[in-house]
Structure 1
Amino acid sequence: MSLDWMADALCAQVGPDLFFPTSAAGYRQAKQICDRCPVREACTAAAAAYEGTSHRHLRHGTWGGHTPTTRTRRSREAA
């Protein structure tokens, strides 16, 4: 899987800690950036490919504007 899309990701312009928050407020802040990102769909697809059917506790951070819980739900719905 190519990760060339990462060069255009808005998250690359801010510190990575923002996308690994420890609170709901932190996730909201990360999601606001993701909402404007031109490569959000590619990021979401990369997370799905990388994480597969992993349990929520094995997922970390915000990818494509989605929390670990949201990504777990989406992977279950896709199965």
Structure 2
Amino acid sequence: MSHDWMSDALCAQVGPDLFFPEKGGNYRQAQQICARCPVRQDCAQAAAAHEGTSHRHLRHGAWGGLTPTTRTRQNRETA
């Protein structure tokens, strides 16, 4: 899978801490950035391909504006 889209990602212009908060942190600012990102769908698809059916506790970070909990829920709905 090609990740050429990453060079167009808005998160590349911001530090990763917003997208990978410490336990108990939130994803609000990351989701605001993702909402404006031109490659949001590519990012979400890459996360889904990488994580597969991983348990929620093995997922971390905001990808395509989706939190680990949201990605786990979506994975269950499409399985």
- What is the TM-score with the length of structure 1 in the denominator? 0.95
Structure 2: how far apart are the matches of 1:76 and 1:40?
A: 21
Gaps of 5+ in 2: none
The letter of the residue matching 1:16 is P
Structure 2: how far apart are the matches of 1:17 and 1:6?
A: 17
Determine the structure 1 residue equivalent to 2:72: 72
Q: Percent of counterpart pairs with the same letter? A: 78
How far does residue 36 in structure 1 lie from its aligned partner after superposition? 0.2
Q: What is the CA RMSD across the aligned residues, in angstroms?
A: 0.6
- What is the TM-score with the length of structure 2 in the denominator? 0.95
Gaps of 5+ in 1: none
Query: Hey, which bits of structure 1, 4+ residues long, moved more than 6 A?
Result: none
Structure 2: how far apart are the matches of 1:6 and 1:51?
A: 17
Determine the structure 1 residue equivalent to 2:16: 16
Q: Deviations over 1:6-40 (max 9, x none)?
A: 0000000011111001312xx01100000000000
The letter of the residue matching 1:46 is A
Q: Matched residue pairs, number?
A: 77
Structure 2: how far apart are the matches of 1:18 and 1:70?
A: 17
Determine the structure 1 residue equivalent to 2:33: 33
Structure 2: how far apart are the matches of 1:59 and 1:8?
A: 23
